[in-house]
Amino acid sequence: MSPNKLLIQYALRHPILVVLSVILGFSGALFNGVSTALVVPVLLGFLGKEFNLEGGPPIIQKFLSIFDWVSGDTKLLVMLGAVLLAIILKNITTYANVLVGGYLSRSLVNGMRLAGLKMLLDVDLDFYSKHKIGDIMSRMNHEIGRTAGAIKIGVRMITTAATILVFLTFLILISWQLTIVTTCLLLLVAIGNQLFVKRAKKFGKILTEKAKAFSNGTIEILTGIRLIKTVSEEENTYQRMQKIIREREKADFDSQANFAAVGPINEISGIIAILFIIIAGRYIFSQEVQSYAELLVVYLVILFRLLPFVGQLNGSRSQFANASASVEVVNDFLRRDNQPIMVNGSAIYQKLEKGIRFESVTFAYPGHDKLALREVNLWLPKGKTLALVGSSGAGKSTLADLLPRFYDPSQGRILIDDKDLKEYDIKTIRGAMGVVSQDTFLFNNSVFYNIAYGWNNPTKEEVIDAAKRANAYEFILQLPRGFDTEIGDRGVMLSGGQRQRLAIARALLRNPDILILDEATSALDTVSESLVQQAIDELCRDRTTLVIAHRLSTVRKADLIAVMDKGRVVEIGTHEELLAKNGQYTRLYQMQFAKEGKNATQNASNEAVMQTSYEVRTGLNPTIGFLQLLVDDLVDNPEERQELTEKAYHSAIRLIQTLELLEESSKKV
């Protein structure tokens, strides 16, 4: 579908506003034409010269005869009042049209952004694996804004065209012969402007590409700043972004230069057109110059008023072509028929009664031929724990992602209490699940907000209880503002173990029926792992749990262990049963624990150091928090400043004592 048709579809979402804008534009054009047509007779009258209607067009005579009911100076005053009234009404309608156009533009932007946001929340995770975040942000902000701008320009073009039509009508009524000449000249000007329209469309597409590249680059810098600094790529990154910014600036300049050239060229063309019309008028009315002198003056005045609108229309065409380049991009983005959106079931999940069954589950990621899972058959009874182990790429996380319906199996099915997972309402089934993964996401908000996220208005007591059960309560109290402490983007102010315990507290607050643990302790040190594992044990109590584990020591107590390799389940049983088989699980176990045995002595000698290191890091958090409040001058009360200073001092003393313990431990080692 062409951009113009797409724009019409978007505009018709607010038909009343569009029609109102067109009516106001036409009314303004009519008042503008009336005031222009009357201004010459009024001026001639005040100069003491009677306006000559003799031999003029009947329609003009009839128009001016409206004022025949008065005579003399009174007639001039009435006509002057009519001119002023027409000018006032024209400006009122113009002002109203600006307000309507602005409201229409904002409504379109808000509507499209809300539709885009709804689509982003509804699509499957596969959508995000195929689209860069920068592309999405560029379309939500830059492209939608340009699309709404194109619609606003389109409405303005209709208004301008209506004004031109009114003026042309007056010109035809005065002299259809001159108007034919005028129209031909103006059409030549419009055809000449077509070159600028094509260039504007080309520059609009370039701006779209450069804006997308800039958004992608900026987001990559923000999300990968740690890596950039680690490998000292600041200068290369800066040079790459500088090139993108300059290319975008050049495209913007070319677009601006193209648009700026339209006005001067139209003005010069207009003056040339007027000269031609004066010459043509002299020949057309060579026998009646005296009788038509006043009407020719009116004609030229109206023509002078018309030409700026012709230039405005040509300029709007250039702007419209530039902005309409975004229309197809936005339309493709907002379409839902070509997006991966799961069909929702109607069955409301209540409570797990029997268990979960993976029945001949085969899966390949959309757009990939290679199978990630092959004929997986597993049974997870209610209240039991099933652990998935195996090397990287075996399909463990993929299988876990199928349970909350992040993806659907390519073949086979997942049954919950003998009912296909697809038959359940997605919201209710996910609401009954708790997921704790290795990569914990936390919002740049308070500790309380992050624990309570996803749960409807929990009480402070419920949040505190969840924090205590997750072994998080003590370190939270040591933060500068306790549960109200802002923890930074993705929880950057916290350690890995602290972030995991907040995620576990969040899951405990939800009290999930089904629990998914995806290598929740694999990236933690020994001390943090011990604290997190205790929290996980509390979380798993009396729940149906699917565990993905890298460290086999964490799954010994699982009711059932499934060993996966290349997307298949190759062994299944308890820890003891699998060791007795002397198969792949045994080899994984021996490789892992042989390495641990080799390092057992060193681990034992460093345990005190690691414990002290953990205590030092924990002690630093409140100290830094107290000092940050003082440095940022966020405390106005002198008593509070004194209290924070004392707290920072005592925290530093405790930190020194901890470091002394570290030195003693090192000497013993």
Measured CA to CA, the distance from residue 499 to residue 472 in angstroms comes to: 9
Encode pLDDT of 86-96 as tens digits: 889 988 988 88
pTM score of the predicted model: 0.63
Measured CA to CA, the distance from residue 291 to residue 294 in angstroms comes to: 8
pLDDT of residue 61: 62
pLDDT band of 363, cuts 50, 70, 90: very high
Neighbour count for residue 484 (Cβ, 10 Å) = 12
Mean predicted confidence (pLDDT) in 416-440: 86
Mean predicted confidence (pLDDT) in 69-79: 77
Measured CA to CA, the distance from residue 9 to residue 398 in angstroms comes to: 41
pLDDT of residue 638: 67
Neighbour count for residue 423 (Cβ, 10 Å) = 15
Domain boundaries, the chain: 3-334, 355-576, 601-668
Residue 329, pLDDT above cutoff 50: yes
CATH dotted code for 3-334 = 1.20.1560.10
Does the structural domain 355-576 have CATH classification 3.40.50.300? yes
Encode pLDDT of 503-557 as tens digits: 888 888 888 888 888 876 655 555 566 666 777 777 777 788 898 877 776 777 8
Residue 274, pLDDT above cutoff 60: yes
Structure tokens at 568: 């298949």
Encode pLDDT of 22-71 as tens digits: 788 788 878 877 777 777 677 766 665 665 555 455 656 666 677 777 77
Q: Which of 196-200, 351-355, 543-547, 571-575 has the lowest mean pLDDT?
A: 196-200
Q: SS3 for 515-551, per residue?
A: EEEECCCCCCCHHHHHHHHHHHHHHHCCCEEEEECCC
Helix (H, G, I), strand (E, B) or coil at 654: helix
Measured CA to CA, the distance from residue 224 to residue 222 in angstroms comes to: 6
